[in-house]
Structure 1
């Protein structure tokens, strides 16, 4: 897959960046704040949200940026699906607020339901995948699209929000029943369980855009790759 990261600017979508993990494989450091080639992983991940209407970072309040809201799942450290659930709820609140400010009819005051980009904060090159993921949603028969590398789905995806809400609600009900009580039931649920309830279009990651920073060895590799790319861009700004 070869994409032009700048093409995402012409698209309109909302975005959720998952940044609330423990960073246990990095010794417990705050993964979003780890610097790679001079910039934090979170800031590099936020490059993928260029052109987004609303952006939510699921993580501690210190990760908020101008124009970027930070929220946490309750209780924290609930895993990626709990983070997606919290992020989508925050996007819905932002949409409602924007509709109210625009003076929209109270019965339809939410802004339009736009595709939702979901990505982990430790995937610093995800911006290059956004145009292809959004293009895959042109197929009316899919609920979303995700990057796939070496046969494995990666945590870089776009979703139709209505389908995502239904899948999260279904998981929550199943999880609540399994635990023997009412509740969200999405805590500790794997992303593959969420995607199993959605019609996901695979988008091949032929360029390694989904490379992540799970370990310090991963960070070192990304430092090398992104550092070379940054030096090349400075000398050849085309």
Structure 2
């Protein structure tokens, strides 16, 4: 993978159904006075282009909003829809879930650095891969299935053929918000700092 921070695009996955949050739009949920989407956009501030796969909401920075196709087709369908919505071609794509509020631009710099000599890099927590990674656009295109097979496809299955290096998370950067309890825990941790 060629390292070049200005040479990457970002796809933020914000289109899930959030069933454990009662269907709330995760992108608009606030933590510390900022929405999860604004925090996600901040984490990819170095990207040349940002596509958000989810409902359009106001943002401070420019982003393109699209809905995954097929609708509620899962994260792999969202990623591929986001990739197809990029206006320009980039050597690499950074991918992140909107519900990981402690990801930062440093996270994605580390992932890009670790990816040199590989086809990408993925953030891990306790040995498990998280929805935060960088991947070569050309290699992603080479392994993508047809539209019908994208529905319900797990990200793990999509990325399995690729040479992705694991990068251990630092601190709480891999924590996510799946439940209201998760949000309360993250908010109380922030207050304790």
State the TM-score, normalizing by the size of structure 2. 0.91
Q: Following TM superposition, by how much is the alpha carbon of 1:45 offset from its aligned partner in structure 2, in angstroms? A: 1.0
Q: 2:112 aligns with which of 108, 127, 134?
A: 134
- 1:208 shift after superposition: 2.4
Q: Does 1:208 align with 2:184?
A: no
Indicate whether 1:88 and 2:83 are aligned. yes
Deviations 1:27-79 (A, max 9, x none): 11111111111111111111111121000000113366642000111231110
Is the CA contact 2:70–2:77 (under 8 Å) kept in the aligned structure 1?
A: no
Equivalent positions of 1:84-123 (< 5 A) are: 84-91=79-86, 94-95=87-88, 111=89, 113-123=90-100
Aligned to 1:11: 5
**Other structure's SS at 2:134 match:** strand
Residue 129 of structure 1: how far off its partner (Å): 1.1
Structure 2 residue aligned with 1:35? 30
Q: CA deviation at 1:130?
A: 1.0
- Using the TM superposition, give the Cα deviation of residue 196 of structure 1 relative to its aligned residue in structure 2, in angstroms: 0.7
Write the deviation string for residues 79-99 of structure 1: whole angstroms up to 9, x where unpaired.
Answer: 0000000000011xx11xxxx
1:209 is paired with a residue of what secondary structure?
coil
Q: 1:1-238, aligned counterparts within 5 Å?
A: 11-12=5-6, 13-62=8-57, 66-91=61-86, 94-95=87-88, 111=89, 113-127=90-104, 128-139=106-117, 142-168=118-144, 171-172=145-146, 183-229=147-193
Higher share of residues assigned helix? 1
What is the rounded CA distance, in whole Å, between the counterparts of 1:88 and 1:39 in structure 2? 26
Structure 2 unaligned blocks of 5 or more: none
Larger Rg, first or second structure (1 or 2):
1
Normalized against structure 1, the TM-score is what?
A: 0.74
* TM-aligned CA deviation for residue 227 of structure 1: 3.9
- Preserved contact between residue 32 and residue 42 of structure 1 (Cα < 8 Å): yes
RMSD: 1.7
Q: Note closer, same or farther for the CA distance 1:32–1:82 as it changes in structure 2 (3 Å cut).
A: same
The gaps in structure 1 that reach 5 residues or longer are 1-9, 96-110, 173-182, 230-238
The change in CA–CA distance for 1:213 and 1:197 in structure 2 (over 3 A counts) is same
CA–CA separation in structure 2 for the residues paired with 1:27 and 1:207: 28
